A and B are shown apart, each in its own frame.
Chain A
Amino acid sequence: MNFHSGAAQLAPLAIVIPIIAAAVLLSVGRWLPRTLIDVLATGTAAATVGLDAALFAHTAGGRVVTWASNWTPKHGHSVGIVLVADRVGSGAALLAGALMLCALVFSWRYFDSVEAHFHALMLLFLAGMTGFALTGDLFDMFVFFELMGAVAYALTGFKVEDPTSVQGALNFGIVNSFGAYLTLMGIGLIYAHTGQLGLAQIGQVLDRSPLDALVVIAFVLVVTGWLVKAAMVPFHFWLADAHAVAPTPVCVMFSGIMVELGVYGVFRVYWTTFSGILPPDDIRRALLVLGILTAVVGAVMCLMQRHLKRLLAYSTIAHVGLFICAAATLDDSGTAGAAVYVLGHAGAKSALFLLAGVILARYGSVDEATLHGKGRDAKATAVLFAVAGLALSGLPPFATSLGKAIGEDALLARGYWIGPVLFVAVSALTGGAVLRAGARIFLGLGPVPAEDQQQTSGDQEERETQSLPRMPATMMLAIVTLVAGCLVCGIYSPITHALGRGATRFVDHAGYAQQALFGRAAHSVALPTGIDWTTLGVALGLTSTVLALLVAALGLYAEKIRRAAERVLDPFAMVGSGLRRLHSGHVGDYITWVFIGVTALAALVGIPLRQ
């Protein structure tokens, strides 16, 4: 029994180093030149990446368990808080650190920052995400969730001069906080029922208790907060508002990892605490239904956008739907697929957001229609945009394509033929929308789209820098790193295999408790099936890429076709505009949808369980 290895110190350090740096920055930031602030913040992010990487390396043989305040358990019981780093958790922390590093490098030439507030907030945001990924305690998860949230609201509204910015931040703040309070209600219920707060400890009690309404509702309420963060339909409304207005480096963190941490939270809580009592078939069906809905709504809304950051935000919603579907297979292969997909998506989508930031810096707008043909001279930006767009649409050998292939395979193995269809369709639609926007902006293809008053245009977006005639080297470096990362994770199999084995550990309910509470060493695990490139995977990836190009072309030249087919497509157009009207930017609507969503989730999970 060993809770005191040197590696055990890594997890708390990865959480508090950014906190200490943020405090230092706040205190002395006003006297430091901007360059030094940048160096300090970037250096801290790099140090955190180093700690996370060391932690990730140590999780090869099992989980790294840390009992904070040294309250190591006796006979599996403790009053303390445990941090449990496994492959998936420490991988998420590592990804958060790496994205933060890229975002901070990108922002070297960004913002005329007021003192060091922006940097301090970003570092606290990193601390919150790291803690959420590493903790093994349900209430501690809530606290880290709130840290992530509070800092994120402030970061979203950071451009206070921008009218839409503060409104998006407020919508985000109210909906997300309300979700968090529902989570806390769930925690209260489960605490009353089990008398425990640790994930593993609660799981141990639930393993031995009968299934009743309380457990079902507690599960639904607990995951509601995480699902609001994950932007699952119908909890997703805040996401597009917040992404459309947040500063570009912040969008990278939101789309690249924060939203994914919501998905992580759902499955972490399911596997460690509820998987011994809630039947997997039931949970799988419920999550698949909502995951498919999320993917479809996100993809359709994405296609209808002209505000570049909003377009990317809806594509994130669509991809979250796919992550949920993959992980909802509730087996190791599907979980591995989701993990690889998240990794690849983080690279491609973050690069696209940064490119949108570059476009904003250069042309003072992120509106696809306004920018028509404006980007003809920006060769490097155009090439990177196209590559990232193709990666998003599932072109092999990018990691997005590999993750998609593994997910499709896992869903097929469970008999869900709809899996591959959905994955290909969503990749084609979202990738197509991105490529269409790119073709308009950089190549000037297609006619200039007509004005549409109903839509959020990207013209009011406030510049975040001085006007930049050329892309600075630091921005270029951040973007190239992200795209390259997406490629490397797709072709360098040790990374995928590490995540695959990690997924097997992630879904090991008993093993988690044994190691966290009793210090027993983890079993060695085999690689899940189907996590390498297959002919089918490559073929489906190529299919979605070709379809994406087709979608882009249709988007550019469809005006005539659409008019011709107007009568045939009329019902679809009505659905589309109805769907668009639901995204009203009204916080009252959003809260109403939270209630509907909770009811729907509870019905999906609970009704089939009634005897």
Chain B
Amino acid sequence: MSHYAYFVAGALVLVGGFGIARSRNLVHATICLSIAQAGTYVLLMAVGYQTNAPAPVFGSTAKPTKQVVDPVVQSLCLTDIVVSATVTALLLALSIQIAKRHDTVDPDELVALQG
């Protein structure tokens, strides 16, 4: 049980990759990629968690203490979320253009780049 969170993180990455590999629609593949990336969020947050420690936000009243949940991974995770959103935006833009040029977004039907 103590490693369950890490396994969920790994499982998300694998499930996302699995989704891309069997995808029949590039928009679907792009979303699966963001599921794989969510695995990295879960791993980072799981690594930073400390049982029964409060959030690393002291507001104007709380007395600062060192025994908080790791704020470093939270900062990394924020960056990660931005990266995910932007990459998704770019890939969706590319999918729109592919649909325009090829009239399909099924990777099985996109055969322009072979050999």
List, in ascending order, chain A residues with CB within 8 A of B107's CB: 586-588
Across the interface, do B20 and A588 meet the contact criterion of CB distance under 8 Å?
yes
Indicate if the CB atoms of A585 and B111 lie closer than 8 Å: yes
Convert B35-49 into 0s and 1s, putting 1 for each residue whose CB lies closer than 8 angstroms to a CB of A: 011011001100100
**Which A residue sits closest to B73, measured CB to CB?**
A191
Residues of B within 8 A of A591 (CB): 17, 20-21
- B13 interface residue, CB < 8 Å from A? yes
Name A177's closest neighbour in chain B (CB-CB). Answer: B87
**Contact: B21 with A173, CB < 8 Å?**
no
Q: How far is the CB of B78 from chain A (nearest CB, A)?
A: 12
> Is A305 an interface position by the 8 A CB rule?
yes
Interface residues on B, range: 35 or more
Say how far A399's CB is from chain B's closest CB, in angstroms.
31
Q: What is the bound-complex CA distance between A166 and B91, given in angstroms? A: 10
Contact of B36 with A171 in the complex, beta carbons under 8 Å = no
Measured CB to CB, the closest approach of chain A to B72, in angstroms, equals 8
Given A170-B98, A586-B108: A178 touches B115 (CB 8 Å cut-off): no
Cβ-based interface call for B74 (8 A) = no
Residues of the A chain whose Cβ atoms lie less than 8 Å from the Cβ of B114: 454-456, 580, 583-585
Other-chain residue from A153, A192, A580, A588 in contact with B115 (beta carbon distance below 8 A): A580
Is A305's CB under 8 angstroms from B115's CB? Answer: yes
Given known contacts A173-B94, A181-B13, A188-B44, A588 and B21 CB-to-CB distance under 8 angstroms: yes
Interface assignment of B101: CB less than 8 Å from any CB of chain A = yes
Docked-complex contact B26 and A185, CB < 8 angstroms: no
Chain B, Cβ-Cβ closest to A588: B21
Pick out which of these stretches binds chain B: A157-165, A227-235, A487-495: A157-165
Q: Does any Cβ of B come within 8 Å of A139's Cβ? A: yes
A586 and B36 CA atoms in complex are apart in Å by 19
* Chain B residue with Cβ nearest A580: B115
B17 touches A163 (CB 8 A): no
Q: Is the CB of A166 within 8 A of B47?
A: no
What chain B residues lie within 8 Å of A304 (beta carbons)?
115
Per-residue CB contact flags for chain A residues 489-509 toward chain B (1 = under 8 Å, else 0) read 000000000000000000000
* Other-chain residue from A139, A244, A456 in contact with B76 (beta carbon distance below 8 A): A139
A153 with B94: in contact, given A185-B13, A456-B114, A587-B107 (CB under 8 Å)? yes
Alpha-carbon separation in the docked complex, A304 to B114 (Å): 12
Q: Is A555 interfacial (CB 8 A cutoff)?
A: no
Residues of the A chain whose Cβ atoms lie less than 8 Å from the Cβ of B113: 164, 167-168, 171, 240-241, 244-245, 456, 585
User: Which of B21, B29, B79 has the largest count of A CB atoms less than 10 A from its CB?
Assistant: B21
Q: Which residues on B are within 8 Å of A, measured CB to CB? A: 9-10, 13, 17, 20-23, 26, 29-30, 33, 36-37, 39-40, 43-44, 47, 72-73, 76, 79-80, 83, 86-87, 90-91, 94-95, 97-98, 101-102, 107-108, 110-115
- Sample 16 A-B pairs with CB under 8 A, ordered by A number: A157-B97, A163-B112, A164-B113, A166-B98, A167-B102, A170-B98, A174-B29, A178-B33, A184-B40, A188-B44, A189-B43, A584-B114, A585-B113, A587-B20, A587-B107, A591-B20
Q: List 8 A-B pairs, minimum CB-CB distance, nearest first.
A: A585-B113, A163-B101, A192-B47, A166-B97, A188-B43, A588-B21, A455-B115, A184-B40
- What residues of chain A have their CB less than 8 Å away from a CB belonging to chain B? 139, 143, 146, 149-150, 153-154, 157, 160-164, 166-171, 173-174, 177-178, 181-182, 184-185, 188-189, 191-192, 197, 240-241, 244-245, 304-305, 454-456, 460, 580-581, 583-589, 591-592, 594-595
